[in-house]
């Protein structure tokens, strides 16, 4: 059953029950909507978009921070037959412009946090016919229509657009911050499959309650929630990551499932160990599952977690947007003896570890991880060359290097590409390198990922200063303020940047030197 149909079914079966709760502890806010209200709001969004001429195959940009309106807007877009285009709220204005142009979006829905960025690019988004603003009316730009007004004035009945699993559903951008971002094209069948994969792995029932903390623009958080959607179970959207706020939400909302990133798990453990929080102040007995994804998980963190929460089931999930988020590989809740591995093939998936000719390698040998299953993308939108590089007869080449042990468990070894994953966010070194090399006193620069217990990796910049020039750490950090905060190098190292005869940076040498 398609996810749009699952929402309608939940409204019929559980219409008066709470579907979504939004908690904003920084301001003391809490709002909730029922399944019936969720379904009706999605219909109102869909019918308004259709009045504006949005039809099957069109694209609608969706740019919001996590909030109670995020999912109704997303489902409303899907119900028109148009493609939802959720964008990373960290993207700067040029990245938003590039992504919107690639998608050829017809409507641009944005929240008040993005007014300045959208203002600066709106006249260059020639495909966009309507802007829709979510926020206080007094802040609404004159070129945008009010989301609240469209909800109030639109029809709440089902729009009646026929959808098929093979229909295009969404575009998710892998890299809106590089010169050539790629948009991953997912179908309604892809989204549907994520519901069954997640529910099969974590066995959600109607009585479960999922705490959603990561950003909803990312496939990870949303596709984990899909396991609850399948059975009409509640979810809580938490705006904030402080340990106290997480524990309060679990306690007060009777949360049973929490998906964490490694930094948040470490912060919770530290808060408990330091006495910042007292577990005796919270009701946590119903919390049955803690799982982690988006980055490698240090086994030491999970061992410590199990000492504090011995009754918790644990799972880690490996996935990528090209496979509709997490679940193509998972550890499995019963495999604590394999903590450190990413696990076994997910529900409905096949796995291979292959050499450069795409031939399977023997157990124990290192090769590229390839996956095949119901979540594998249709392809990169309007980019057949990039699609052909990673899709081989239905197999998706992930770009991650792995090995399989004798029991069939997969272990990640390294990434084929140089992407740095910091706290679940992808950082592309070349962009930072190019930025640094614009400094008049920098001769060369290389950015590598260095291990971090809390964040998985941090971006470290090796800076080679021009002969005869002087440059301080403070000056470089001040210069890097021109980058978005999450891209700024967390460590600056002064040294030579080695390059091979073809001019490529020899990053293995740098890692060996600075990881010691």
Kindly state whether residue 194 falls inside one of the protein's structural domains: no
Q: What is the CATH number of the domain that holds 159?
A: 3.40.50.12780
Kindly state whether residue 321 falls inside one of the protein's structural domains: no
pLDDT in tens, 384-405: 999 999 999 999 999 888 899 9
Kindly indicate the confidence band of residue 343, based on its pLDDT and cuts at 50, 70 and 90: very high
Q: What percent of the chain has pLDDT over 90?
A: 76
Mean pLDDT, residues 429-445 taken together: 85
Rounded CA-CA distance 427/293 in Å is 17
- Return the pLDDT at 503: 53
Mean pLDDT, residues 371-395 taken together: 96
- Return the pLDDT at 507: 85
**Final residue of a structural domain among 141, 168, 188:** 188
Rounded CA-CA distance 202/229 in Å is 13
Kindly state whether residue 298 falls inside one of the protein's structural domains: no
Rounded CA-CA distance 386/426 in Å is 19
Is residue 241 within 8 A of residue 212, CB to CB? The reply is no
- Return the pLDDT at 433: 86
- How many separate domains does the chain show? 2
Nearest to 50 by CA among 21, 10, 13, 78: 78
**Residue 242 buriedness (CB in 10 A; 0-12 / 13-18 / 19+):** middle
Assign residue 399 a region (left: φ > 0; alpha: ψ between -120 and 50; beta: otherwise).
left
Q: Which of 79-88, 149-158, 228-237, 500-509 has the lowest mean pLDDT?
A: 500-509
Kindly indicate the confidence band of residue 180, based on its pLDDT and cuts at 50, 70 and 90: low
Domain extent for 448: 421-514
- Return the pLDDT at 293: 78
pLDDT higher than 50, residue 178: no
Greater pLDDT, 160 or 181: 160
Residue 43's contacts (CB-CB under 8 Å, 6 or more residues apart) are 76, 79, 154, 155, 156, 157, 158, 159
pLDDT higher than 50, residue 338: yes
DSSP three-state, residue 464: strand
Rounded CA-CA distance 295/351 in Å is 19
- Return the pLDDT at 251: 98
Rounded CA-CA distance 283/105 in Å is 46
Kindly state whether residue 26 falls inside one of the protein's structural domains: no
Structure tokens at 70: 């995020």
Phi, psi of 459 (to 5 degrees): -85, 125
- Return the pLDDT at 414: 63
**Final residue of a structural domain among 169, 188, 207:** 188
Rounded CA-CA distance 338/508 in Å is 28
pLDDT in tens, 457-484: 999 999 999 888 899 999 999 999 999 8
Nearest to 290 by CA among 250, 259, 268: 259
Mean pLDDT, residues 31-47 taken together: 98
Is residue 251 within 8 A of residue 238, CB to CB? The reply is no
Structure tokens at 91: 């993207």
Give alpha helix (H) positions in 203-311: 219-229, 243-253, 262-273, 299-308
- Return the pLDDT at 295: 66
pLDDT in tens, 284-328: 999 999 998 776 677 888 989 999 999 999 999 999 999 998 899
- Return the pLDDT at 176: 43
Rounded CA-CA distance 510/491 in Å is 14
- Return the pLDDT at 192: 98
pLDDT higher than 90, residue 430: no
**Core vs surface per residue 389-414: b (16+ CB within 10 A) or e:** ebbeeebbbbbbbbbbeeeebbbbee
Q: Which of 93-97, 376-380, 392-396, 506-510 has the lowest mean pLDDT?
A: 506-510
Mean pLDDT, residues 26-30 taken together: 94
Kindly state whether residue 211 falls inside one of the protein's structural domains: no
Kindly indicate the confidence band of residue 486, based on its pLDDT and cuts at 50, 70 and 90: confident
**Residue 512 buriedness (CB in 10 A; 0-12 / 13-18 / 19+):** exposed
Q: What is the CATH number of the domain that holds 442?
A: 3.30.300.30
Kindly indicate the confidence band of residue 501, based on its pLDDT and cuts at 50, 70 and 90: very low
Kindly indicate the confidence band of residue 159, based on its pLDDT and cuts at 50, 70 and 90: very high
pLDDT in tens, 346-370: 999 999 999 989 999 999 998 999 9
Nearest to 293 by CA among 342, 339, 247, 251: 342
Is residue 314 within 8 A of residue 335, CB to CB? The reply is no
Which range of 174-188, 390-404, 437-451 scores highest in mean pLDDT? It is: 390-404
Rounded CA-CA distance 258/269 in Å is 15
**Final residue of a structural domain among 188, 216, 241:** 188
Kindly state whether residue 80 falls inside one of the protein's structural domains: yes
Mean pLDDT of the chain: 92
DSSP three-state, residue 421: strand
Kindly state whether residue 451 falls inside one of the protein's structural domains: yes
Rounded CA-CA distance 468/38 in Å is 64
Mean pLDDT, residues 229-243 taken together: 97
Is residue 321 within 8 A of residue 172, CB to CB? The reply is yes
Is residue 78 within 8 A of residue 4, CB to CB? The reply is yes
Indicate the DSSP class of residue 131: E
DSSP three-state, residue 29: strand
- Return the pLDDT at 505: 78
- Return the pLDDT at 467: 82
Kindly indicate the confidence band of residue 418, based on its pLDDT and cuts at 50, 70 and 90: confident
Kindly state whether residue 463 falls inside one of the protein's structural domains: yes
Nearest to 376 by CA among 362, 394, 353: 394
| Residue 105 C-alpha from the chain's centroid | 21
Kindly indicate the confidence band of residue 149, based on its pLDDT and cuts at 50, 70 and 90: very high
Q: Which of 68-72, 259-263, 415-419 has the lowest mean pLDDT?
A: 415-419
Kindly indicate the confidence band of residue 500, based on its pLDDT and cuts at 50, 70 and 90: low
User: Concatenated DSSP letters for 167-204?
Assistant: SEEEEEES-TTSSS--EEEEEHHHHHHHHHHHHHHH--
Residue 508's contacts (CB-CB under 8 Å, 6 or more residues apart) are none
Q: Is the dihedral of CA 272, 274, 277, 281 positive or negative?
A: positive
């Amino acid at each position: 059953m398609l996810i749009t149909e699952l929402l309608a079914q939940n409204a019929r079966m559980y219409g008066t029950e709470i579907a979504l709760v939004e908690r904003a502890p920084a301001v003391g806010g809490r709002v909730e909507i029922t399944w019936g209200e969720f379904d009706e709001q999605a219909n109102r969004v869909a019918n308004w978009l259709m009045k504006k001429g949005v039809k099957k195959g069109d694209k609608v940009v969706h740019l919001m921070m996590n909030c109670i309106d995020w999912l109704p807007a997303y489902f409303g877009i899907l119900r028109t037959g148009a493609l939802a285009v959720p964008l990373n709220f960290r993207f700067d204005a040029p990245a938003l412009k590039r992504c919107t142009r690639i998608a050829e979006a017809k409507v641009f829905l944005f929240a008040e946090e993005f007014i300045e960025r959208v203002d600066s690019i709106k006249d260059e988004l020639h495909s966009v016919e309507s802007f829709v603003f979510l926020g206080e009316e007094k802040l609404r730009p004159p070129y945008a229509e009010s989301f609240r007004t469209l909800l109030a004035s639109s029809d709440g009945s089902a729009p009646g657009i026929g959808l098929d699993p093979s229909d295009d559903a969404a575009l998710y951008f892998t890299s809106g911050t590089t010169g050539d971002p790629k948009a991953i094209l997912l179908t309604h069948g892809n989204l549907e499959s994520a519901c069954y994969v997640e529910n099969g792995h974590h066995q959600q029932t109607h009585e479960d309650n999922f705490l959603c903390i990561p950003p909803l623009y990312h496939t990870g958080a949303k596709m984990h929630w899909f396991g609850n959607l399948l059975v009409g179970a509640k979810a809580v959207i938490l705006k904030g990551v402080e340990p106290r706020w997480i524990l309060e939400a679990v306690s007060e909302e009777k949360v049973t499932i929490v998906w964490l990133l490694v930094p948040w798990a470490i912060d919770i453990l530290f808060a408990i160990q330091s006495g910042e929080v007292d577990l005796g102040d919270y009701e946590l007995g119903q919390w049955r599952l803690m799982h982690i994804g988006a980055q490698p998980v240090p086994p030491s963190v999970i061992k410590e977690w199990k000492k504090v929460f011995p009754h918790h089931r644990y799972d880690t999930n490996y996935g990528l947007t090209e496979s509709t988020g997490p679940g193509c590989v998972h550890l499995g809740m019963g495999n604590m003896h394999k903590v450190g591995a990413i696990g076994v093939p997910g529900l409905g998936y096949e796995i291979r570890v292959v050499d450069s000719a795409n031939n399977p390698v023997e157990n124990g040998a290192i090769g590229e991880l390839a996956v095949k299953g119901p979540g594998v993308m249709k392809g990169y939108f309007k980019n057949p060359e990039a699609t052909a590089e990673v899709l081989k007869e239905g197999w998706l080449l992930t770009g991650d290097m792995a090995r399989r042990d004798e029991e069939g468990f997969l272990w990640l070894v390294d990434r084929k590409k140089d992407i740095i994953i910091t706290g679940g966010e992808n950082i592309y070194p070349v962009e930072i390198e190019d930025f640094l090399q614009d400094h008049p006193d920098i001769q060369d620069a290389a950015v590598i990922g260095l291990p971090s217990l809390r964040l998985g990796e941090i971006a470290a910049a090796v800076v080679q200063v021009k002969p005869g020039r002087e440059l301080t750490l403070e000056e470089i950090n001040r210069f890097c303020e021109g980058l978005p905060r999450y891209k700024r190098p967390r460590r600056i190292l002064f040294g030579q940047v080695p390059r091979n005869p073809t001019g490529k940076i020899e990053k293995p040498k740098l890692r060996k030197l600075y990881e010691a």
